[in-house]
Amino acid sequence: MRHMLFTSGPNKISRGRLFQKHFDQRIDVKHVEVTTPLWPKEFDGLRVGHISDFHLGDLMPMDRALSAVQMLKSEEPDIVACTGDVVDLNALGAEPLFEAMANIDAPLGTMLVLGNHDELDCAATISDMALEAGVSLLRDGRCTINHNGSKLHVAGIDWAKSQKKCSAKVARVCHDKTHLLLSHNPKAFSAAANHNIPLTLSGHTHGGQLAVRDKPNTNLAVAHKRSSGLYDREDSRLFVTVGVGAWFPLRINCPAEVAILTLRSK
């Protein structure tokens, strides 16, 4: 119903011009430096490629999704984090996108958590596609990456709508050594900060898609107090990407993006 009202219906009325205008919009590469004394010194300078919310489907054809992945690849990140909503309504034919994310060939791998739109379709199918392609899927799970004799502890939680449910997942999945948390919903950050997790990466909000210029947090994502960019609470940091895709064909003062975060331990 939402798709028909805000997306396919208006596009039909515009005789396809609405989608074409949307596809003509640029995708930015955003560079952000993130500094926290909680970040492990052994991984000082680590570059994280963060990509989220493709919504592969009517508003994100495969070639546009692959070009966003190529933008990230050309930045040569050390690790890739995808924070969900890879597909929108239908996972059929999504395999090349997971393969492209794995083929970025970041030395520390490509990590993925699922978003609410992934779970709306078929979480099991999407999980199989990701694993088959060589993407590390964190479904309320964690992993330890051994790199040059040091360990990076990464955790990821499945979609949860409320802050309370996110907090319960963080408590269950993370431990006191977790360095990096992937959560589609930025509402996990309060719990992450309580656990002194240095960095949480999220998507989901799309930055509201319609934003007021030069006024941070003034956008359509009114259900989220942290909806776009970098946030801190004490020494914990949260980065919320506005994502590469969309759930309606309009972005104002909120261009689509892929992000490169450089981590500093001070």
| Residues contributing to the site for Fe ion (CB under 5 A) | 53, 85
Cβ at position 247, least distance to Fe ion in Å:
6
Q: Closer to Fe ion by CB, 204 or 237: give it.
A: 204
Q: Which is nearer to Fe ion, 78 or 158 (CB)?
A: 158
- Alpha-carbon torsion (242, 51, 246, 250), positive or negative: positive
Task: Calculate helix-pair angle for 95-102, 123-133, nearest 10 degrees.
Answer: 40
Q: Which is nearer to Fe ion, 19 or 248 (CB)?
A: 248
Strands 47-51 and 256-264: antiparallel
Closer residue to Fe ion in complex, CB, 43/159: 159
Using the minimum distance from each CB to Fe ion, give the nearer residue, 73 or 204. 204
Query: Which residue's CB is nearer to Fe ion, number 145 or number 244?
Result: 244
Query: Which of 90, 182, 168, 177 minimizes the C-alpha distance to 129?
Result: 90
Q: Is 27 exposed, middle or buried (0-12, 13-18, 19+ CB in 10 A)?
A: middle
Phi first, then psi: give them for residue 102, nearest 5 degrees: -65, -35
Quick one: tokens of 2?
Answer: 């939402």
CB-based contacts of 102: which residues, under 8 Å, 6+ apart? Answer: 110, 133, 134, 135
Query: Least distance to Fe ion from the beta carbon of 240, Å?
Result: 12
CB of 55 to Fe ion, least distance (A): 6
Residues 114 and 128 sit within 8 Å (Cβ to Cβ): no
Shortest reach from residue 231's CB to Fe ion, in Å: 19
Of 254, 236, 252, give the one whose Cα is nearest residue 244: 254
Reading the block at residue 86, the tokens are 């890879």
* Minimum CB distance to Fe ion, residue 45 (Å): 30
- Between 53 and 158, name the residue whose CB sits nearer to Fe ion: 53
Q: How far is the CB of 166 from Fe ion (least distance, A)?
A: 16
CB of 117 to Fe ion, least distance (A): 6
Among all residues, whose Cβ is closest to Fe ion? Answer: 85
